[in-house]
Amino acid sequence: MIPVLALPGTLDGNAERTVRGILEAADIVVGGNRPHDIQVHDPAFYSRVAFEGRLGLGESYMDRQWDSEALDQFTAKLILSPRRQRLTGWKDVVGRAAARLWNLQGPGRVFESGAHHYDVGNDLYRAMLGETLSYTCAYWKDAASLDQAQRAKLELVCRKLGLRPGMRVLELGCGWGTFARYAAERYGVEVVGYTVSREQVALGAELCRGFPVELRFADYRSARGSYDVVVSIGMLEHVGPKNHRTYMETVDRCLKPGGTAFIHTIGSNERQELIDTWFHKYLFPNAAIPSLAQISEAMEGLFVPEDVHNLGPHYDRTLMAWFANFERAWPGLQETYGARFGRMWRYYLLSCAGAFRARFMQLYQIVMTRPGARQPACRHS
């Protein structure tokens, strides 16, 4: 997810000097006393970063070879360095080549992300995400807490869609049914949701009991039916560039004439075929953050982008709130998940917060209609 800095090929004798120089260009000092500085505990850190790139940086942190008091600040500093480039190891090159050659998010692989990440444990997610169980960017405009901000996000989505009682809503990537339940309870709509996580379906069905909500363990491509609204909140990141058009065609197939579609997705400032190697290996297999250009290209001839709203800065605060919840809950989770998982999760949350703080990634909410449809109000407040 985050770019760091490209290091030239080095042997062990030069690795430390090279890495120190790159860090110093980002105003990061090895052994410094500022929160964003780093403390190196094992000299092997330098060669791992030099030769394994982004993967080596993350794995060496997981292995306690280095620390930073404020990983979020460290990441933002590194991204904003005047010498910023992508830190590229050989596995990054291989992964990107594979993504160009093959469809890594095809029907045969789509359930990998659910099993690997979203099925990791509902106890972890309930502790980290708060009472709404919303695993996407919150909306902090008038909110004082994470739960308030998440409910504000759900309300914002409903207002942009103009939901009314009796509407049928299709949600592609429904998580634990958070949006489905909110929309059904507050707006009187019927929701059918799709997810590739068995654990999300199991808990979500329990949480949505009594509401006109159906959650299905199935690939989005299998969606059928006719709906007034089609919505995806935090799902397009798993679709992949080779499938963006297929996603849009699925939405088009299921949307009634005159209906409205909505996408809430992390957005990359640049086109990419695959998420960086560390996140691909440990968090989100086969994910790819779409650029606005890639989304627009996939929409051509099918949909009109009625409203594009960038909430990127809100994700920094959301991630920091998740991190605070995780830290409070960790003593009760550590025995189940282990110390290395804890370091992995901290690195994930804080490095992402730093990436959003540096504006390397955005969060787009996009309202779409078909050509000729009446323009929706798309109210932001």
CA distance linking residue 290 with residue 10, whole number of Å = 33
Residue 375 located in a structural domain: no
Q: What is the pLDDT of residue 228?
A: 98
Q: Which helix or strand (DSSP H or E) is residue 325 part of?
A: helix 312-337
Residue 107 located in a structural domain: no
Q: What is the pLDDT of residue 2?
A: 42
**Residue 70, exposed/middle/buried by CB under 10 A (0-12, 13-18, 19+)?**
middle
Same domain membership, residue 156 and residue 46:
no
Same domain membership, residue 178 and residue 292:
yes
Q: What is the pLDDT of residue 202?
A: 96
Same domain membership, residue 365 and residue 263:
yes
Residue 7 located in a structural domain: no
DSSP structure class, residue 341: H
CA distance linking residue 56 with residue 49, whole number of Å = 5
Residue 295 located in a structural domain: yes
Same domain membership, residue 210 and residue 149:
yes
Dump strand ranges (E) for the chain.
Answer: 38-40, 66-68, 168-172, 190-195, 213-217, 227-233, 255-268, 304-310, 361-369
- To the query of whether residue 352 is one of the catalytic residues in this protein, the response is yes
Residue 302 located in a structural domain: yes
Q: What is the pLDDT of residue 89?
A: 66
CA distance linking residue 244 with residue 295, whole number of Å = 7
Same domain membership, residue 78 and residue 193:
no
Residue 93 located in a structural domain: no
Q: Which of the listed residues 73, 88, 103 is the one where a domain comes to its end?
A: 88
Q: Each residue of 143-165: pLDDT tens digit?
A: 999 999 999 999 999 999 999 99
- The whole-model pTM stands at 0.94
In this structure, what CATH number is given to the domain that contains residue 311? 3.40.50.150
Q: Each residue of 120-145: pLDDT tens digit?
A: 999 999 999 999 999 999 999 999 99
Q: Contact at 8 Å (CB) between 333 and 125?
A: no
Residue 106 located in a structural domain: no
CA distance linking residue 376 with residue 97, whole number of Å = 41
- Out of 158, 254, 352, 378, the active site residue is 352
Q: What is the pLDDT of residue 94?
A: 74
The domain in which residue 21 lies consists of: 12-88
Same domain membership, residue 176 and residue 80:
no
Tokens of 338: 């282990």
Q: What is the pLDDT of residue 367?
A: 98
Residue 379 located in a structural domain: no
Q: How far is CA 66 from the centre of its chain?
A: 25
Same domain membership, residue 333 and residue 285:
yes
Instruction: Single out the residue of 194, 176, 188, 182 nearest to residue 154, CA to CA.
Output: 182
Q: What is the pLDDT of residue 17?
A: 87
Using 70 as the pLDDT threshold, list the residues of the chain that sit under it.
1-13, 83-90, 99, 101, 104, 381
